[in-house]
C-alpha cells in the first residue's frame, strides 16, 4: 500500500473533522457547564475552577490522546476499527483458549449494544444544547427550545434515505470553522484571565479529586462528558486511515478543545454567574446568534456521523450473525460505505424524539449520556487486552500494565456515571440491555436452529451417491441451492425433488460465508469444487464490511471452470418457520418466541444477497427449537 501524500493526508484530515470528531467536538457546549453544576456541592471559586479544568484536561489527554489515538487505534482489523471489528479480532485471538470466547462475546456484544444508546443520546443532547443558546439571547425562546430541537432532528432523519454525499462535502469546512472559532474565543478569554493556565499542572487535578470527599467522585460523571465521541476515533479509522485521524487530532481538534475549555474556565473565574451557559457567554454579544447557527450545524454533523455509525454497526452485526437480516440500501454509487437501513432509521428517530421530549434539557440528558459512553469504552479496553496478549503475544506484565491503567480509569468513570442512574442513567442501560437481549437471542437461536437442521439433514455425499443408483430425471437449466451447511443436503433440494421429481442438469450448492475480517478481496471471493454428475459446491466469502452479491460471485466462478449465467439460473431458498417448543437444549420459552418473531420479520433473503426476485423459488420448512 502506498503511503498517503501530505496533500492526501491533509484532505483526509479535513474530511475526518466532521465524521470522526463531530461528536467530541461539540462537547464544549455542555461539558464545562455540567462539571461545575452546583448540584455537585463544590463551591465555584478560582481554586476549584482550576482544579476542575485540570481534571478535564488530563482525562482528555490520557483517555483520548494516549489510549485511543496512540494505543487502541493500533488494534485495527485489516484497517477497520470499532467494537465489532475489535470483538472479531479478540475472539479470533483466543481460538486456542476457548474458555474466553463466551465472556468476550458477552462483553463485546453489550458494548456494541450500549453504542446504540450513544447513537440516540448524541443527536438529542448535541442539538438540544445548541438550540439552548437562544435562551441566552432572550428568555422568550425558552418554550420553543424542545419543539425546535425535535423538528431539526426529525428533518435530519427524514433526509437519511437520500444519502449524505452532498451534505458530506461541507462537513469538513464547517467543522474546521467550528474548531477555529472554539480556539479563537478560548484564547481571547484566556488572555483576559491567564491564571487558568495553571490547570496544566496535574497537581491541581489531584487536589480537586481528593479535597471534596464523595463530591469529587460524583463530579467525574460530568467531567467524562469531555471525552464523549472518543470511540468514533477508533470506529471511523477505516474511512480515513490512522495517520489522517491522528493529524486532525493533534493538529487542530485537541488544541481547539483545550483552548476553549480553558477559555470557559477563565470566564468562570472572572464571572461565576456565567455558569448559566459558559459556552455561549464566552463569546461577545454580537457573535451569539452566528455561533448558535454554527453550533447547530456542527451538532447536526455530529448527529449525522453517529447515525451513519449506527447503520454501519448494524450491518456488521447482521453479517457477523448477531442480528437478523434487514434491508440495506446503498445511497452512493461511488462510496460503498454510505448505506441506509430504514428499520434502524425509524426506530432511532422514535427513541431520539422521545429522549428530547422526555428529558427536556441538555442537563438532564447529560446524566444519561455518560453511562452509554463509558460502558462502550470499558468494553473496548477489556477486549484490547486479549488482542495484545493472545493475538500479538506481548508479555503478560506489559499487557496488564498497558490495559490495567486504562481499565482503572474507565471503571472509575463508569462508576461515577452509574451514580446518575436515577437521574437518567437508566435510559441507555435499559436501551443497551434490550439490544443485548435481541442480539444474544438471535445468535443463540441461530445456533440451535443450525443444530436442529443438521440433525434432520442428509449428508450430501450419501445423497449424491444415492442419485447414481436412482433414475432421477434431469432437465435443462441451472439450479442454485443456498445452504448454510455445505456438507449436508439442502432441505430445499429434498422438497424440490419431492414435488417436481426432477433435477436440473447443473446443480450448485452455494454457501455464503461471513468471515471475521472487514474485507475479502475479489481474488479470494469464491472457491468452486466439482462433485461430478453436474453437481458443484461453491463457497462465497465476504467480510463484515462487504455487501453480499450472489450473482456477481457466480460470475467469478467461470475462472474456476463453473460457467453459469446467473440471470438464467433458478435460485432455491429454504424459509424456516420456527415453532417454539420445550425441546432439550433450547432456550427459555419466551426467548424462543422472541427468536421466532425476529425470524418472521427478518428481511428478504433474496434482496439481502442481491438475487433478482423473479429468479427465486422459496420452499418452507417447519423447525421446532
Residue 540 near residue 510, CB atoms below 8 Å? yes
Residue 470 predicted with pLDDT over 80: no
In the prediction, which pLDDT does 63 show? 93
Coil, strand or helix at 392: coil
- Report the interhelical angle of 165-192 vs 6-19 (nearest 10°): 90
User: Is the pLDDT score of 4 beyond 50?
Assistant: no
Query: Which grid cell is 164?
Result: 449524505
Rounded distance, CA 373 to CA 369, Å? 6
Q: How far is CA 444 from the centre of its chain?
A: 21
Evaluate if residue 18 carries a pLDDT over 50.
yes
Q: Tell me what pLDDT residue 220 has.
A: 92
**Phi-psi category of residue 477: left, alpha or beta, with phi > 0 → left and psi -120 to 50 → alpha:** left
- Predicted confidence band of residue 169 (pLDDT cuts 50, 70, 90): low
Query: In this predicted model, what pLDDT tens digit does every residue of 257-279 receive, in sequence order?
Result: 999 999 999 999 999 999 999 99
- Residue 3: predicted pLDDT: 41
Which of 4-13, 207-216, 363-372 is predicted least confidently? 4-13
Instruction: Judge whether residue 77 has pLDDT over 60.
Output: yes
Give the model's confidence band at 19: pLDDT under 50 very low, under 70 low, under 90 confident, else very high: confident
End-to-end CA distance of the chain: 48
Does residue 120 contact residue 431 with C-beta atoms inside 8 Å? yes
- Distance, CA of 263 to CA of 279 (rounded, Å): 9
Beta carbons of 553 and 540 less than 8 angstroms apart: yes
Residues 533-545: what's their mean pLDDT?
Answer: 91
Q: What share of the chain is helix, strand, coil (3-state, %, to 5)?
A: 70, 10, 20
78 band by pLDDT with thresholds 50, 70 and 90: confident
Q: What is the pLDDT of residue 381?
A: 92
Which cell numbers hold the place of 428? 441507555
- H helices within 228-360, ranges in order? 230-235, 237-240, 242-248, 254-270, 278-281, 288-319, 342-359
Q: Compute the mean pLDDT over every residue in the chain, rounded to the nearest whole number.
A: 88
Judge residue 101's burial from the number of C-beta atoms within 10 Å of its C-beta, 0-12 exposed, 13-18 middle, 19 or more buried.
middle
| pLDDT number for residue 168 | 57
* Residue 42 contacts residue 280 (beta carbons within 8 Å): no
Q: Which of 59, 443, 463 is nearest to 221 (CA)?
A: 59
Q: What is the mean pLDDT of residues 233-258?
A: 86
pLDDT at 512: 93
What is each CA distance from 307 to 11, 124, 161, 311, 495, in whole angstroms?
Answer: 23, 12, 12, 7, 43
**What number of CA atoms fall less than 13 Å from residue 2's CA on the CB side?**
5
Among residues 614, 616, 535, 544, the alpha carbon closest in space to that of 575 is found at 616
For residue 184, the SS3 value is helix
Element housing 527 (H / E):
strand 526-532
Quick one: pLDDT at residue 415?
A: 93
The pLDDT assigned to 14 comes to: 79
CATH 1.20.1740.10 placement within the chain: 8-443
Are 375 and 114 in contact by the 8 Å Cβ rule? The answer is yes
Angle between helices 214-223 and 396-418 (to 10 degrees): 100
β-strand pairing of 535-542 with 526-532: antiparallel
Gap between the Cα atoms of 51 and 196, Å rounded = 9
> What value does the mean pLDDT take over residues 181-204?
96
DSSP letter string, 420-473: TGGGTTHHHHHHHHHHHHHHHHHHHHHHHHHHHHHHTSPBHHHHHHHHHHS--E
Q: Output phi, psi for 514, to 5 deg.
A: -105, 120
Helices 342-359 + 145-158 axis angle, to 10 = 180
pLDDT of 191 over the 60 cut = yes
Q: Which pLDDT score, from 0 to 100, does residue 7 have?
A: 46
pLDDT in the model for residue 1: 38
Percent of the chain with pLDDT over 90: 49
**Range with the lowest mean pLDDT among 134-143, 273-282, 509-518?**
134-143
Phi-psi sector, 163: left (phi>0), alpha (psi -120 to 50), beta: left
3-state secondary structure of 315: helix
CA distances from 50 to 45, 53, 55, 94, 416 (A): 9, 5, 9, 45, 21
Q: Which of 198, 190, 187 is nearest to 47 (CA)?
A: 198
Give CA separation, 357 vs 144, 235, 312, 427, in Å: 12, 29, 27, 14
pLDDT value at 6 more than 70: no
| pLDDT higher than 70, residue 5 | no
Q: Does the pLDDT at position 160 exceed 80?
A: yes
- Quote the pTM value: 0.85
User: In CATH terms, is domain 8-443 a member of 3.20.20.70?
Assistant: no
Give me the pLDDT at residue 15, please: 74
Amino acid at each position: 500500500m502506498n503511503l498517503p501524500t501530505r496533500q492526501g493526508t491533509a484532505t483526509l484530515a479535513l474530511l475526518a473533522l466532521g465524521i470522526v470528531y463531530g461528536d467530541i467536538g461539540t462537547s464544549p457546549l455542555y461539558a464545562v457547564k455540567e462539571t461545575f453544576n452546583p448540584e455537585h456541592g463544590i463551591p465555584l471559586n478560582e481554586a476549584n475552577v482550576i482544579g476542575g479544568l485540570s481534571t478535564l484536561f488530563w482525562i482528555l489527554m490520557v483517555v483520548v490522546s494516549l489510549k485511543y489515538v496512540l494505543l487502541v487505534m493500533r488494534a485495527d482489523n485489516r484497517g477497520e476499527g470499532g467494537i465489532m471489528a475489535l470483538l472479531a479480532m479478540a475472539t479470533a485471538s483466543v481460538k486456542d483458549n476457548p474458555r474466553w470466547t463466551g465472556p468476550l462475546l458477552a462483553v463485546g456484544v453489550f458494548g456494541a449494544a450500549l453504542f446504540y444508546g450513544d447513537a440516540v443520546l448524541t443527536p438529542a443532547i448535541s442539538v438540544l444544547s445548541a438550540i439552548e443558546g437562544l435562551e441566552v439571547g432572550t428568555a422568550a425562546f425558552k418554550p420553543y427550545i424542545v419543539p425546535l430541537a425535535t423538528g431539526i432532528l426529525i428533518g435530519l432523519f427524514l433526509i437519511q434515505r437520500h444519502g449524505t454525499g452532498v451534505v458530506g462535502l461541507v462537513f469538513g469546512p464547517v467543522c474546521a470553522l467550528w474548531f477555529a472559532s472554539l480556539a479563537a474565543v478560548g484564547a481571547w478569554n484566556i488572555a483576559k484571565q491567564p491564571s487558568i493556565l495553571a490547570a496544566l499542572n496535574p497537581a491541581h487535578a489531584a487536589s480537586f479529586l481528593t479535597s471534596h470527599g464523595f463530591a469529587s467522585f460524583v463530579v467525574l460523571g460530568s467531567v467524562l462528558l469531555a471525552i464523549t465521541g472518543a470511540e468514533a476515533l477508533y470506529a471511523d479509522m477505516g474511512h480515513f486511515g490512522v495517520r489522517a485521524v491522528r493529524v486532525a487530532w493533534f493538529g487542530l481538534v485537541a488544541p481547539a478543545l483545550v483552548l476553549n475549555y480553558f477559555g470557559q474556565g477563565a470566564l468562570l473565574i472572572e464571572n461565576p454567574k456565567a455558569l448559566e451557559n459558559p459556552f455561549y457567554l464566552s463569546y461577545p454579544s454580537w457573535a451569539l446568534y452566528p455561533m448558535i447557527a454554527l453550533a447547530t450545524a456542527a451538532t447536526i454533523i455530529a448527529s449525522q456521523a453517529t447515525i451513519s455509525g449506527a447503520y454501519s454497526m448494524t450491518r456488521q452485526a447482521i453479517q457477523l450473525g448477531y442480528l437478523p437480516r434487514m434491508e440495506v440500501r446503498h445511497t452512493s454509487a461511488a462510496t460503498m460505505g454510505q448505506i441506509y437501513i430504514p428499520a434502524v432509521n425509524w426506530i432511532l428517530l422514535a427513541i431520539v424524539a422521545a429522549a428530547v421530549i422526555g428529558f427536556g434539557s441538555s442537563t438532564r440528558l447529560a446524566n444519561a449520556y455518560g453511562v452509554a459512553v463509558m460502558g462502550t469504552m470499558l468494553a473496548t479496553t477489556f477486549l484490547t487486552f486479549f488482542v495484545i496478549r493472545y493475538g500479538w503475544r506481548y508479555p503478560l506484565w506489559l499487557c496488564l500494565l498497558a490495559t490495567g491503567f486504562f481499565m482503572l480509569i474507565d471503571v472509575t468513570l463508569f462508576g461515577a456515571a452509574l451514580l446518575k442512574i436515577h437521574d437518567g442513567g437508566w435510559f441507555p442501560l435499559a436501551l443497551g440491555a434490550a439490544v443485548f437481549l435481541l442480539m444474544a437471542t438471535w445468535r443463540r437461536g441461530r445456533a440451535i436452529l443450525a443444530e436442529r437442521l443438521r440433525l434432520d439433514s442428509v449428508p450430501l455425499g450419501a445423497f449424491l451417491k444415492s442419485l447414481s443408483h436412482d433414475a432421477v430425471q434431469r432437465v435443462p437449466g441451472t439450479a442454485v441451492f443456498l445452504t448454510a451447511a455445505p456438507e449436508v443436503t439442502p432441505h430445499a433440494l429434498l422438497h424440490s425433488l419431492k414435488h417436481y421429481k426432477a433435477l436440473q442438469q447443473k446443480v450448485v450448492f452455494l454457501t455464503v460465508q461471513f468471515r471475521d475480517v472487514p474485507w475479502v478481496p475479489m481474488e479470494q471471493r469464491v472457491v468452486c469444487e466439482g462433485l461430478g454428475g453436474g453437481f458443484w459446491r461453491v463457497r462465497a466469502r465476504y467480510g463484515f464490511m462487504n455487501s453480499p452479491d450472489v450473482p456477481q460471485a457466480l460470475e467469478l466462478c467461470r475462472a474456476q471452470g463453473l460457467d453459469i449465467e446467473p440471470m438464467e439460473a433458478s435460485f432455491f431458498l429454504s424459509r424456516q418457520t420456527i415453532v417454539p417448543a420445550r425441546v432439550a437444549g433450547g432456550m427459555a420459552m419466551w426467548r424462543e418466541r422472541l427468536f421466532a418473531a425476529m425470524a418472521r420479520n427478518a428481511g428478504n433473503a433474496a434482496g439481502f444477497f442481491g438475487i433478482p426476485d423473479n429468479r427465486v423459488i422459496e420452499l418452507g420448512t417447519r423447525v421446532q427449537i
